[in-house]
Structure 1
């Protein structure tokens, strides 16, 4: 539907695209959100909150800039892959 609207614009197209985006966002949030109380706490997770906190502070301080996962991983002193896993694990 979004692709069709982008190629053949209609009068209600903007509303259609916004509704589709909102539905997709809600679906992703529902599908990938976890209750943090259900996650097992491992030694690796216990060691990462400080690193993740530094990355979150950087995001808050630079909210007006585009920030990459690689930049955040550098701040946390982790590889991008490991940072992404730990960020999800620590923040839920």
Structure 2
């Protein structure tokens, strides 16, 4: 997978979305993208560049911490609708 998780808190010169195309070409296994996804369009770009899946966990943890169950339920449809709003 492609991840920013190994080095949290440091400014990386190369974002995961930028590194993804080269990793997909060089890889012999399905590639998962983890990190660098800020909106639904980022997830869409990752899939278009060859990622088999995009892992998005932090927004749901924040929603749980701030709004409890209702916060998570409100967040669930947003990644899917984000791409539709920007096209």
So what's the TM-score if we normalise by structure 2?
0.27
**As a proportion of its length, which structure holds more strand?**
2
**As a proportion of its length, which structure holds more helix?**
1
So what's the TM-score if we normalise by structure 1?
0.26
